[in-house]
Structure 1
Amino acid sequence: MRKRRLALSAALGLALCAGAVAAQTPVDESLSKRDARRLDNMEKVVGELRSIVFRARDTRQPVVVEPADTDARLSELSGRLADLEQTLTRVNGSLETTAHQLDETKRENAALRGDIKALSDKLSALEQKVDAAQAAPQAPPPPTGAAAEAGPAPPPAASPTEAFAQARQLMLAGSYDAAEAAFRDYVGAYPDAPRAPEARYWWGKTLQVRGAHAEAATAFIGAIRGWPKTAWAPDALVELARELNALRKTTDACETLAELPRKYPKATAPVKARAAAVRAQAKCG
């Protein structure tokens, strides 16, 4: 016990001496900032040592030295650094996911462009096949029956609107030969008019009446080129398939019918029924 008191007294004296020395040591103004920081650290250490010695003397109990404030701050900074690392990991994961989604979108867009080009090429190929199968153009037969009774052809129209209306009126009147000629003239005179695709559609209808399958198929191909979103377009596609089947091009007819639900999913029930009938005639798989 006596030895412990002597050791405690010695430590206390050492701390007091060191504190006195530290307190009496003049700070030279020429000291660098680094030396000044070292001196401050020494004073802190001496202060902590004095506190430990006095606490041991007063309590006569073992003294537990608490971690320095610097250690606590280092621990706090380490925790913050760990949080930042987790945040960066999540951000990197989000960036990788976004990059993957962008790549998927680019691939899907490329596939869509490929499908559009393939459909356009398919229509061009169908048109070439129909042209190859088409016989040499023949002069239309003289009007007979209702067409003959209709009298002379109406005077030339003054505008595309009037020309289309006259051709449509001839068809509604049952003058199919005259209507065929009128729609043919309309397409030849106004190939870029807004109603030119519809005129091709009705032209194909008049050609069907006299069994001109190849010419009718060509007219229907011209009508649906570009896949117009009109009320008559789904029927034009089905009629094209019908003419292709009549020309014994069953594979092309089935491929054409396969485009109906993709291009015109809202087709009417009668159009879908006619498509089913043509599909059965062509024996599509």
Structure 2
Amino acid sequence: MTRPRLLLASVAFLALAGSAHAQDNGRVDRLEKQVRELRAIVFQGRDTGQAVEVKLAGPDPAVSAVEQRLDAVDATLRQLSGQLEVMTHDADEARHSSQALRDQTGELRGQLKDLSDRVGRLEAQFAPGAAAGQIPPPPTDNSVPPPPTGPNGSDATAAAQAADSGRLGGPSSAPDAPPPAAAAPAGPADVYRAARARVTSGDYAGAASAFQDYVTRYPSAKNLSEAYYWMGESDYAREDFQDATPAYARALKGWPKTAWAGDATVKLARALVETNRSTEACAALAEFDHRFSSTAGPATKARADGVRGRAKCSG
């Protein structure tokens, strides 16, 4: 038996065996189709005398085109998704910065109003003649007496002024007149108020000198820490970070629980960064996080984050 006939017989046997065990017509049809394909291959080899090479059918061009379009759409979606994430991040940053600016503006307005109210109260309290009964009511036209006249009808007031030149530095004709009262020496409260007035007026150089004078003259004052704080504020406003650093550090001695302590800590860190001491600045910010972050306002926290970024603090 020749080889083609043997192959045909084997194929026919497999087909018959498969059909005997087939459970449905679909499987039989598939087997018959496979037998026909195998027969065609065998006869092709017999007729041509060449080896038959069976090649798998290539992909459908239409399917390949659809797959390429789907890949392009997927790449476009990934690109758009990345752009959307960037835009969302930028919008969040802008919203955070805007909110921080509004909070800082509101905080500054509140501080300005508080300072204005305090200055108004101090001016009203310490203005000359503010106490009741010290300033006599201005005389009306009916209550002003006519100037006294001399024996010859001359103005007695003018004659007295001509005779007594004590006001101009000459000898006085009234030896029993009391000497002018000397000005009372300024006390701690007066010195402190004068220094704070310089801060309010924007004279930061004068304020720094005035507070330096205050802490030197009254080293045991109860408000010594607050005086150092305003000294640091005066130096900070002039960007004199070298002098602002020790002023803030002395104001924060003992870490007081005052309203300005958190702000002073952040500004101390900024002054340290500006004087090339980033390690100490990060330590100051760590103290801010530990002691004041829970009570600090949004503007102060935003300023602390900015200083932390400049100092490149880790963690």
Do the structures match in fold with TM over 0.5? no
Relative to its length, the structure with more helix (as a share) is 1
**Structure 2-normalised TM-score?**
0.40
**Structure 1-normalised TM-score?**
0.44
